Structure 1
Amino acid sequence: MKIIDLKVRCVAIPLNAQLRHNTGVHPGYFLRTILELVTDEGLIGLGEVGGGDQRAALLKLKPRVVGMDPFHLELIKLKVLRSIYYLSNARLYAAIEMACLDIQGKVLNRPLSDLLGGSVRSKIPMIAYLFWRYDRPDGKHDERAEDLADHCVELHETLGVKSMKLKAGVQSPAEEARVLRLCRERLGDDFGLRIDPNGLWSVATAVKIGQQLQDLGLEYFEDPSWGLEGNAAVRKKLNIPIATNMYPNKFDDLGPAIRLGAVDIVLTDIHYWEGPRGVKDLCAVCQTFNLGVAMHSGAEFGIELAAMLHTASTIPTMTFAGDAHYHYLLDDIIEGGLMPYKEGCIAVPQGPGLGVTLDEDKMKFYGTYYEKKGDYYARFHQDPYRPDWYPTVGGM
Structure 2
Amino acid sequence: MKIIDFRTRCVAIPLNAQLRHNTGVHPGYFLRTILEIITDEGIIGLGEVGGGDQRMALQKLKPRILGMDPFHLELIKLKVLRSIYYLSNSRLYAAIEMACLDIQGKVLNRPLSDLLGGSVRTEVPMIGYLFWRYDRPGGGHDTCAEDLADYCVELHETLGINAMKLKAGVQKPMEEARVLELCRKKLGDDFGLRIDPNGLWSVATAVRVGRKLEDLNIEYFEDPAWGLEGNAAVRKQVRVPIATNMYPNKFDDLGPAIRLGAVDIVLTDIHYWEGPRGVKDLAAVCNTFNLGLAMHSGAEFGIELAAMIHTASTIPTMNFAGDAHYHYLTDDIIEGGLMKYENGCIKVPSGPGLGVSLDEDKMKHYEKYYEQKGDYYARFHQDPYRPEWHPTVGGL
TM over 0.5: yes
Distance 2:246 2:139 in 1: 33
Deviations 1:160-203 (A, max 9, x none): 00000000000000100000000000000000000000000000
**Paired position in structure 2 for 1:245:** 245
- What TM-score, normalized by structure 2, do the two folds share? 1.00
In structure 2, stretches of 5+ residues that fail to align are: none
Q: Distance between the aligned counterparts of 1:197 and 1:71, measured in 2?
A: 40
The CA deviation at 1:378 is 1.9
Deviations 1:309-361 (A, max 9, x none): 00000000000000000000000000000000000000011110000000000
Q: Give distance in 1, aligned partners of 2:284 and 2:378.
A: 37
1:266 counterpart SS class = strand
Q: CA offsets per residue over residues 248-274 of structure 1, 9 Å max, x none?
A: 000000000000000000000000000
Return the TM-score normalized by structure 1.
1.00
**1:214 alignment partner AA:** E
1:363 partner letter: M
Partner of 1:392: 392
Quick check: 1:12–1:366 contact (8 Å CA) kept in 2? yes
Q: Is the 8 A contact 1:26 1:380 kept in 2?
A: no
Distance across 1 between alignment mates of 2:344 and 2:153: 13
Distance 1:63 1:215 in 2: 55
| Residue 380 of structure 1: how far off its partner (Å) | 3.8
SS at match of 1:341: coil
SS at match of 1:276: helix
In the other structure, the counterpart of 2:230 is 230
Alignment of 1:170-249 (within 5 A): 170-249=170-249
Cα contact 1:153–1:187 (8 A) shared by 2 = yes
CA RMSD in angstroms, aligned pairs only: 0.4
Distance (whole Å) between structure 2 residues aligned to residue 378 and residue 85 of structure 1: 23
Instruction: For 1:327, give the aligned amino acid.
Output: H
Q: Point out 4+ residue stretches in structure 1 off by more than 3 angstroms.
A: none
AA in 2 matched with 1:216:
L
In the TM superposition, 1:138-149 aligns within 5 A as: 138-149=138-149
Structure 2: distance between partners of 1:89 and 1:130: 29
Question: Could you say which residue in structure 2 is the equivalent of 1:298?
Answer: 298
> Match for residue 344 of structure 2?
344
* Residue of structure 1 in register with 2:70 after alignment: 70
Provide Cα deviations, 1:46-67, integer angstroms capped at 9, x if missing partner: 0000000000000000000110
**Consecutive unaligned residues in structure 1, runs of 5 or more:** none
Aligned residues: 396
Q: Which amino acid letter does the alignment assign opposite residue 92 of structure 1?
A: L
Structure 2: distance between partners of 1:308 and 1:73:
18
2: CA distance, partners of 1:361 / 1:50? 21
Among all aligned residue pairs of Structure 1 and Structure 2, give the percentage whose two residues are the same amino acid: 85
Q: How does 1:308-319 map to 2 (within 5 A)?
A: 308-319=308-319
What is the rounded CA distance, in whole Å, between the counterparts of 2:349 and 2:390 in structure 1?
A: 40
2:80 pairs with 1:80: yes
Cα deviations by residue, 1:121-161 (Å, 9 ceiling, x for unpaired)? 00000000000000001110000000000000000000000
**1:359 corresponds to:** 359
SS of structure 1 residue aligned to 2:367:
helix
Counterpart check, 1:373 vs 2:373: yes
* Contact 1:25–1:380, Cα closer than 8 Å, also in 2: no
**Match of residue 330 from structure 1:** 330
